[in-house]
Structure 1
Amino acid sequence: MRIDVLDADTLARVGWVDVWVSLYWDSPYYSEGSFTLEVRPTAENLQLLQEGRWLVRSDESPRIPMRICSRANQNEDSNLVVSGYPATWLLTKRVSAVSIKNQNAEAAMRSLVSAAKPWPRLELGTEYGFDTTFEKQTSGGSIFDYCQTIGQACDLGFRIVLDGKGSKKKLLFECFRPTFDPNRRYSPQWGNLLNSGWSFSDTDYANVALVQGAGEGNERATVWVGDVNATGSDRREMYIDARDIKPDEDKNETSTSQSYLAKLADRGGEKLLAQLRTGSIEFDVDDDTLQVGDVLSASLPQLGYTAMVRVADIITQSEDSGTTRTIRLGTPTWHKT
């Protein structure tokens, strides 16, 4: 592996690094990511590794540039340490106040990038036509914040890739979402799912809430919410005192008004969301071919669970002792088989 160093504006290669003390390289799906490179403080390295320049790995496809954002050298005997972020960092330096709601996720991200003030050689890349709609609402912040919010809500990755050669090099913004490959299946019985651990609990679980609001004694406003038809051991009740919610007298609202009772029901629904059954299953996978965004299927036959999960980050660490590749997974969606 070699790390090419590119000019901040022209993207022309100005040199490369192929010897280092240590390297940490975190490639993300829809989060920030980062890198740290530690080298000897030679005159060549000090001249080459400057803030604003881009680093690109020779073994990576597509090529995701990392921008040098800081560098440090405590004294002449210390190593030079440079660090920074993937090219999506530049989206943190562009802001917007537009409101995004009920829009196609890919189109919304592309429109935000397109409307931002120009950045040298940044353009829109291929539009793939993902049909996911961002149904929530977000407004105000950096373009990166917008994209991260939309991406995480819609399971849609975004990145800026290096494209072209010579004077035609560009930084292209694109969304991506790899589809499931049936060959990407992992289980302890096949030896490619490792270090699995799990925990489950229903101690605080509730699915029905009795909510009381304004009034006194038997005259208090009262509503039941949740799975009110549940019976027997399937019914788990909780009580909620919502006396702090008052009828809106300016709107002639009383403790028996449907609009007021709806507010109590909303409070009950919010509280029930915090009383879900809890559970977690953690594991590692052994597969050097996985890439950021890939979807894999994991199964734990002893528990009767299967899950689909996406690769959220891939972290490469390189030192004198060798190179390791850590796969960081997103939150699995588990199903009973």
Structure 2
Amino acid sequence: MQLEIYSLTALKDQISVSLEAICDSYSSLLWDIEFYQCGCFEVYIAASPQNVSIFQRGRIVARSDDAQHFGIIESLQLETDAEKGDYLTVTGRFLACLLERRIIYPTITANGSYEDIVRKVLSRNAISAGIRNLPGFSMGTMSGNCWQKTARMQVSYDNILEWLYNLCETIGGSANVRLDGNALKCDLFSGTDRSLLQDDNPHIVFSDAYNNLLSFSYAADDAVQKNFAYVLGCGEGSARKRTTFCSGTEPTYLDRYEVYVDERNTAQEEDVTDAEYLEILKSSGAEHLVQPKTASESAIAAFSTQYQYNKDYFVGDYVTVEQKRFGLIQPRIQLIGMVESFDQNGRSLTPTFKETE
């Protein structure tokens, strides 16, 4: 597997991308794909004048076997040592990090599908925004029913990258920016259910019984849970607009964990009815709900004959994880991150899982 290093040049609203070098002699590579946040990478390579000239900040690092994820070099660290040798550490994040350079300005009130809301926010702040444009940036493909759900919301001054991934986590979707020739495409998508709780797709089960679960740890904490929101908007005293929000059946008694959401700065515009304004407040309430905290860390077989990563399953998919020795089973758990590591010991996979409702 080779690394491809590209130069990225902005020409007003367009970009020019050209291949500068191909590298296959690195000491180690970490390729961290995340579903609800921007992924990152790290290349550890022997330092030489040639490598220092190749790996420059602002250049793009791609893998010859990955057409979806492209990293942009953000940090370089050069270390020289007479005994251990000279090494260069190259780190950065995937191209979605470019959205961190923009905020949502001015206030946007949006009503429609989540896909339409994202398109509106990106259009006004990165695509059709004059000198605020991200050169070469446009919307790409969309897949997943979660993006067709509707909402009404008001957003302002949020960092776009943070806002986008917070929205993704709320609805269960994800976003990725990829390189497509001399263009940057933002794709919206969702994971596929491959757990034992469905029969539409082949089941993916990681288990000590199948020898594809090398290690397993699990912890749960209810203390951070918030499942019922009281949301107060504009106005003063008893005249303040207010509503509540919960997901599904309203929790009661000991199952109820309440949170207060202050949205006094969310103004009700003249063309927004009371009912529409309350829907905006409910959307804010949804963003403040917190599921019970769980930690599930595992190491899975990188060369399993049963399932191959990025062929049989992908980051964002729902799978089943079980530790039969202790009678623990997570019948439907989402794979929200995967660190793929290459070094002198070979290839390893370190997944991150998140329980869902």
Q: Which category describes the TM-score, using the shorter chain as reference length? A: 0.5 to 0.7
Call closer, same or farther: CA 1:148–1:17 in 2, change over 3 Å: same
Which of 286, 296, 301 lines up with 1:282 in the alignment? 296
Residue 317 in structure 1 maps to residue 341 in structure 2: yes
Call closer, same or farther: CA 1:45–1:201 in 2, change over 3 Å: closer
Aligned to 2:93: 85
Measured against aligned partners, the alpha-carbon deviations of 1:7-40 in whole angstroms (never above 9, x if no partner) come to 1121211111111122111111120221111112
User: How big is the shift at 1:43?
Assistant: 1.8
Q: Report the number of matched residues.
A: 268
Could you tell me how far apart the structure 1 residues matched to 2:203 and 2:255 are?
Answer: 39
Which of 116, 120, 139 lines up with 1:124 in the alignment? 139
Which of 178, 183, 186 lines up with 1:173 in the alignment? 186
Q: CA RMSD in A?
A: 3.6
Aligned to 2:7: 7
Aligned to 1:112: 121
1:313 is aligned with what amino acid?
Answer: G
Measured against aligned partners, the alpha-carbon deviations of 1:215-253 in whole angstroms (never above 9, x if no partner) come to xxxxxxxxxx9746xxxxxx799xxxxxxxxxxxxxxxx
Aligned to 1:54: 60
Structure 2: any 5+ residue segments left out of the alignment?
10-15, 127-131, 195-200, 226-249, 257-288, 302-306
Measured against aligned partners, the alpha-carbon deviations of 1:137-189 in whole angstroms (never above 9, x if no partner) come to 6532221011011111111110011224xxxx321001111321332332444
Q: Is the 8 A contact 1:57 1:63 kept in 2?
A: no
Could you tell me how far apart the structure 1 residues matched to 2:220 and 2:141 are?
Answer: 43
Q: Is the 8 A contact 2:297 2:351 kept in 1?
A: no
User: How big is the shift at 1:53?
Assistant: 0.6
1:315 is aligned with what amino acid?
Answer: V
Could you tell me how far apart the structure 1 residues matched to 2:177 and 2:70 are?
Answer: 8
Question: Does the residue aligned with 2:332 lie in a helix, a strand or coil?
Answer: strand
1:317 is aligned with what amino acid?
Answer: S
Q: Is the 8 A contact 2:319 2:332 kept in 1?
A: yes
Measured against aligned partners, the alpha-carbon deviations of 1:284-318 in whole angstroms (never above 9, x if no partner) come to 35443232222213456775854322221111112
Q: Is the 8 A contact 2:297 2:352 kept in 1?
A: no
Aligned to 2:204: 185
Call closer, same or farther: CA 1:189–1:68 in 2, change over 3 Å: same
Structure 1: any 5+ residue segments left out of the alignment?
206-224, 229-234, 238-272
Call closer, same or farther: CA 1:15–1:308 in 2, change over 3 Å: same
- Structure of greater Rg: 1
Call closer, same or farther: CA 1:136–1:305 in 2, change over 3 Å: farther
Q: Is the 8 A contact 1:196 1:281 kept in 2?
A: no
Aligned to 1:28: 34
Could you tell me how far apart the structure 1 residues matched to 2:5 and 2:65 are?
Answer: 14
Call closer, same or farther: CA 1:113–1:84 in 2, change over 3 Å: same
User: How big is the shift at 1:108?
Assistant: 1.8
Call closer, same or farther: CA 1:281–1:91 in 2, change over 3 Å: closer
TM-score (normalised: structure 2): 0.64
Could you tell me how far apart the structure 2 residues matched to 1:320 and 1:105 are?
Answer: 44
1:94 is aligned with what amino acid?
Answer: R
Call closer, same or farther: CA 1:195–1:279 in 2, change over 3 Å: farther
Call closer, same or farther: CA 1:227–1:141 in 2, change over 3 Å: closer
Call closer, same or farther: CA 1:87–1:200 in 2, change over 3 Å: closer
Measured against aligned partners, the alpha-carbon deviations of 1:237-287 in whole angstroms (never above 9, x if no partner) come to 9xxxxxxxxxxxxxxxxxxxxxxxxxxxxxxxxxxx99x9x7857363544
Could you tell me how far apart the structure 1 residues matched to 2:52 and 2:218 are?
Answer: 48
Q: Is the 8 A contact 1:105 1:151 kept in 2?
A: no
Could you tell me how far apart the structure 1 residues matched to 2:135 and 2:92 are?
Answer: 18
Could you tell me how far apart the structure 1 residues matched to 2:339 and 2:211 are?
Answer: 22
1:32 is aligned with what amino acid?
Answer: C
Could you tell me how far apart the structure 1 residues matched to 2:103 and 2:222 are?
Answer: 43
Could you tell me how far apart the structure 1 residues matched to 2:351 and 2:109 are?
Answer: 32
2:116 is aligned with what amino acid?
Answer: A
1:318 is aligned with what amino acid?
Answer: F
TM-score (normalised: structure 1): 0.68
Q: Pairwise mapping of residues 1-337 of structure 1 onto structure 2 (< 5 A)? A: 1-9=1-9, 10-60=16-66, 62-75=67-80, 77-97=85-105, 98-99=107-108, 103-115=112-124, 116=126, 117-128=132-143, 130-133=147-150, 138-164=155-181, 169-181=182-194, 182-186=201-205, 187-193=207-213, 195-198=215-218, 227=252, 280=294, 282=296, 284=298, 285-286=300-301, 287-289=307-309, 290-299=313-322, 303=327, 306-329=330-353, 331-333=354-356
Q: Is the 8 A contact 1:101 1:135 kept in 2?
A: yes
Between the two proteins, what is the percent identity of the paired residues? 21
Could you tell me how far apart the structure 2 residues matched to 1:150 and 1:279 are?
Answer: 19
Measured against aligned partners, the alpha-carbon deviations of 1:25-66 in whole angstroms (never above 9, x if no partner) come to 111112022111111221211111111110110111x33110
